[in-house]
Amino acid sequence: MPELPEVETTVRLIRPQLVGRTIRGARVAWRRTVGARAFEARVARARITDVRRRAKYFVIELERGRSPAGGLLGHLRMTGRVLVTPAGAPDPEYGKVALALDDGTTMHFVDVRKFGRLVWHADPARELAALGPEPLGEVFTADWLGAALRTRKRALKPLLLDQTFVAGLGNIYVDESLHRAGLHPLARADRVKPREAERLWREIRAVLTEAIAREGSSFDAFYRTPEGKPGSYQEQFRVYGRDGQPCRTCRATIARLVVGQRGTHLCPRCQRRPRTR
């Protein structure tokens, strides 16, 4: 599932093509979608004022007559993709929603398996209000993380995947961050020492920054940027998907276990399992 770096990449590439454009008309290709006609009516003739990311969502803000007109809230899920095609270009395969723009281009929401979501909300920010802080934002500091961990008695991996705790992290980048920080996925959050919390904070931000620079991770055939290119951060994975291979740090064999019903990858030497009390 696309995580923060993949969604951030998508937003950065489509924002210049969408902001300032007026939606001439909308078409929902799958007519069985509940509320398809209402969706088309709500976005038609609206002007796009901003495109941004929040956690794993992309948000397209709208206005009509210089008054707010709600916005589109999208989630790529497993196989979703957003792209903008030039005038006269054929519709892409598996297109689910098409927004015709006033410059002749068309924004498409494409999804092979129909797991993705693109919905209209009167107030997208309100829909996302329960999410935790952005890991690359100003609120997410080393002090904040250390204090927040001390109040939780949960294992680190499930806690970091909890979108109400920190927004945008998923399986890939949690595994990579924990390895770089030298912390076991089953370590209790409230037992993480201040210096370990600072190291985890630093590595989360470093991993995400590096992944965005490489336009995310494409470890299967589905994630592609709006330009149709795969990301390349998978070439830098230290543990994720590398079970049975040597650790890039210490050469021990990468192991896989299940934590919170999620496949989890770690180095048993770099990430010592905590002792139970």
Supply the residues annotated as catalytic: 2-3, 56, 262
Distance CA 267, CA 246 (A): 9
Distance CA 124, CA 135 (A): 20
Distance CA 159, CA 202 (A): 17
Let me know how many helices (H) and strands (E) the chain has, helices first: 7, 10
Distance CA 59, CA 134 (A): 15
For 260, the 3-state DSSP assignment is: coil
Q: Where are the beta strands (DSSP E) in 29-121?
A: 47-54, 57-64, 67-75, 80-85, 95-101, 106-111, 117-121
Distance CA 116, CA 108 (A): 13
Q: Report the half-sphere exposure of 239 (CA within 13 A, side-chain side).
A: 33
> In 10 A of CB 246, how many CB atoms?
12
Is-contact 80 7, C-beta < 8 A?
Answer: no
Ordered strands of the 95-101 beta sheet:
23-28, 95-101, 106-111, 80-85
Give the helix/strand (H/E) hosting 75: strand 67-75
